[in-house]
Amino acid sequence: HNEDYPGEMTTDEAKAMIKDLSGFKIPALLLSGGEPLMRQDLFELADYARGLNMRLTLSTNGTLIDQKNAKRIKETGFSYVGISFDGIGEINDKYRVMEGAFDLALRGLRNCMEVDQKVGLRLTLTRRNYEDLHNIFDFIEKEGIQRACFYHLVYAGRGSAIRKDDLSHEESRHALDIILERTMDFHKRGLKKDILTVDNHVDGPYLYMKLKKTDPKRAEEIYKLMEWNGGGANSSGVAIGNIDFFGNVHADQFWQDYSFGNVKKRPFSEIWKDTSDPIMKGLKNRIPLLKGRCSQCKWLKLCGGSFRVRALRVYNDPWMHDPACYLTDEEIGIIKDKKVAVAER
């Protein structure tokens, strides 16, 4: 691949964007795609960002990480590389519609590990792979993977096409139970691994409720951390933003059909602070706008309403409750007389 994508930012435009982001004091820059390693000036841009003391991470399918690229990634100073898998072996290849994709991604992961580059696994939970979670955890242990992120499906981009493969609420709970069970097993056996679930902030209250039964002290510590974090209320449009390869600014990587402006015409630092756009204004102060189950939920200050783009896709209203919330009405404190319950700690 030696040709630029029509309309994508030039090297100079991308550097101007990076300089603005540095001045705006963003804490981290994630280079993603598509496949970022297909961009010919990737390492030039990464070197430029590192020269501005920016923390860099890379999200990739891993298939292009040969030994040479692994060494370049390490030397450039990427703090972390996340490699996407959709399952083990054939399950992954069917999703990727590419025979051998799993083996290439695994090669990329191993090449990163060989040069001591911090690297981890990224996997989106679907009905095609969640029943294989135990095998995935076995794979994590066998390969010595130190970090794994399990993503809930978000109905945007490629995720919209496979929405039918999203987990039911019961399946989501089952998947979380397996992830928690296997993570605790790692911990008990002294295996130091970072296991995260991503893109559904209701996982926090679910973990808290389970842990409160077995380790109340630890549950209290986790509650305080989640309260400080704020969940979805401090994510899309606030602490997370996205700039696509054309330069369009989005609330996050899933809001590709809604742009706040373009960095070719206006700096990101200005676009991000401009609350004249009703969506930007709402995302920065979403709690009063939330409707449905969210408006009555006792965990709202922990979850923050989770992902607004899922509500937009399902209800055509970004302020409705997140349809991926798998907690029952009883668990979120909705009672028959419609009073809003207060979270018990």
7-28: pLDDT as tens digits? 999 999 999 999 999 999 999 9
- Overall average pLDDT of the 133-156 stretch: 96
What confidence score (pLDDT) does residue 161 get? 67
Task: Write down the mean pLDDT value for the chain.
Answer: 94
What are the structural domain ranges in the chain?
11-200+239-283
For residue 84, what are the β-bridge partners?
Answer: 122
In this structure, which amino acid lies at residue 185? D
- Measure the CA dihedral 162/168/172/178, to 10°: -100
Checking if the pLDDT of 342 tops 50, the result is no
pLDDT band at residue 159 using 50, 70 and 90 as cut-offs: low
pLDDT in tens, 89-141: 988 888 888 899 999 999 999 999 999 999 999 999 999 999 999 999 999 99
Q: What is the mean pLDDT of residues 78-85?
A: 98
Query: Tens digits of per-residue pLDDT, 205-262?
Result: 999 999 999 999 999 999 999 999 999 999 999 999 999 999 999 999 999 999 999 9
Helix axes 11-23, 42-51, angle to 10 degrees: 30
Tell whether the model's pLDDT for residue 337 goes beyond 80: no
pLDDT at 312 over 80: yes
> What is the model's pLDDT at position 1?
42
172-190 average pLDDT score = 97
Predicted pLDDT at 3: 57
At 33, the pLDDT band (50, 70, 90 cuts) reads: confident
Cα–Cα distances (Å) from 85 to 68, 120, 172, 225, in that order, read 21, 10, 19, 29
CATH of 11-200+239-283, one of 3.20.20.70, 3.40.930.10, 3.40.50.300, 3.40.50.1820: 3.20.20.70
Strands (E), the chain: 29-31, 56-60, 80-85, 119-124, 147-151, 194-198, 242-243, 248-250, 261-262
pLDDT surpassing 60 at residue 204: yes
